[in-house]
């Protein structure tokens, strides 16, 4: 079963968190609005797609 192609910006889970060194200059800003703009649902969708892809591998 193939993972459906989605029209989301290309980001990874790691791009959404600060790095371990505490250097915020390498942290990318969020591409979507706040949680009021549906960012929580977007994150959930992306997390589910990543999980589906790992299951296929």
Domain spans of the chain, in order of start: 33-57
Taking the C-alpha atoms of residue 19 and residue 25, their distance in angstroms, rounded to an integer, is 10
Structure-token match 């200059």, residue found: 25
* pLDDT at residue 31, as a whole number: 55
pTM for the structure as a whole: 0.34
Task: Please provide residue 45's backbone torsions phi and psi, each rounded to the nearest 5 degrees.
Answer: -60, -45
SS3 annotation, 5-48: CCCCCCCCHHHHCCCCCCCHHHCCCCCCCCHHHCHHHHHHHHHH
* pLDDT at residue 16, as a whole number: 59
* pLDDT at residue 17, as a whole number: 62
Block mean pLDDT (10 aa), the chain, length 57: 73 61 58 56 81 84
Most distant pair of Cα atoms in the chain: their distance: 40
């Amino acid at each position: 079963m193939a993972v459906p192609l989605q029209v989301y910006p290309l980001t990874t889970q790691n791009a959404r968190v600060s790095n371990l060194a505490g250097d915020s200059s390498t942290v990318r800003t969020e591409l979507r609005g706040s949680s009021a703009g549906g960012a929580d649902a977007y994150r959930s969708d992306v997390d589910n797609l990543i999980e589906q892809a790992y299951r296929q591998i």
